[in-house]
Amino acid sequence: MATITVKKLLKMKQEGDKITMLTAYDASFARLLDQQSVDVILVGDSLGMVMQGHDSTVPVTMDDMVYHTKIVSPMCQYSLLLGDLPFMSCTSPKQAIKNATRLMQEGGAHMVKMEGGEAQIENIAQLTRHGVPVCAHLGLQPQSVHKLGGYFVQGRNQKVADKILNDALLLQDAGADMVLMECVPVSLARKVTQALDVPTIGIGAGRDCDGQVLVLQDMLGISAKAPSFSQDFLTGQSNGIAGAVANFISSVKAQTFPSDAQCFI
């Protein structure tokens, strides 16, 4: 079992120890992240864009997620392993249970992540009732890109901001063990973090979240187009990729990342 557990993440929030999370989709990078003591390794459906070359995460299948989680899993001796439930894989409690079971039994995930707010309440309740740790994903939800019409900051409108906060509370009450917020204003992320008992993870959501996540390739500066909230931790780093990861960890812990320029207001 990994050193980092759901209980440990909760303790980190309570003690103000910032949580670090990076993506990995293969054994080599997963081993490196684990050796550098990244708290959570996320096998994200971002692999559709990073590894498969698609323009969204929508084409990613359940088989894709199980495969990549399975090859990352043996490397996670320290890090908690979080696996994504991809597009249309958790539209009902029955489907959510089936696919979360695959991610954990076949893939070896320790926790599953699902996008969506209030509509996921029953799915999360059923999963947690059966012992499955869940990370909810609010704010910008990449699986909904075709509905949204693009990748935009969410929650600048007061009505939307109120819904994100309300959804976060509802999902926590349903049993969610963690909430990830993507591309939301700093003030909203701070409000949600203060309102929740469970940890929050930010990506483009400011420094006040309980932790930070980046796509590894963005963090290494090798993505075709990195988002504005990311940072290249590799350029100028004498210790290579391991040094870049260590730099990311220390920057998150010291709350120097993200900078004001990497936040939304």
Collapsed DSSP state (helix, strand, coil) of residue 25: coil
User: Token pair of 231, please?
Assistant: 């940072």
**Mind spelling out the 3-state secondary structure of 37-84?**
CCCEEEECCCHHHHCCCCCCCCCCCHHHHHHHHHHHHHHCCCCEEEEE
d(CA 83, CA 105) in angstroms, rounded, equals: 12
Is 122 assigned a catalytic role?
Answer: no
d(CA 80, CA 186) in angstroms, rounded, equals: 26
Calculated CA dihedral for residues 173, 102, 107, 19, nearest 10 degrees: -10
d(CA 166, CA 133) in angstroms, rounded, equals: 21
Phi, psi (rounded to 5 degrees) for 115: -80, 150
Q: Can you count the helices (H) and strands (E) in the chain?
A: 11, 8
d(CA 19, CA 77) in angstroms, rounded, equals: 17
Phi, psi (rounded to 5 degrees) for 134: -130, 135
| Residue that is written with structure tokens 């050796």 in the block | 35
Q: Which residues are catalytic?
A: 182
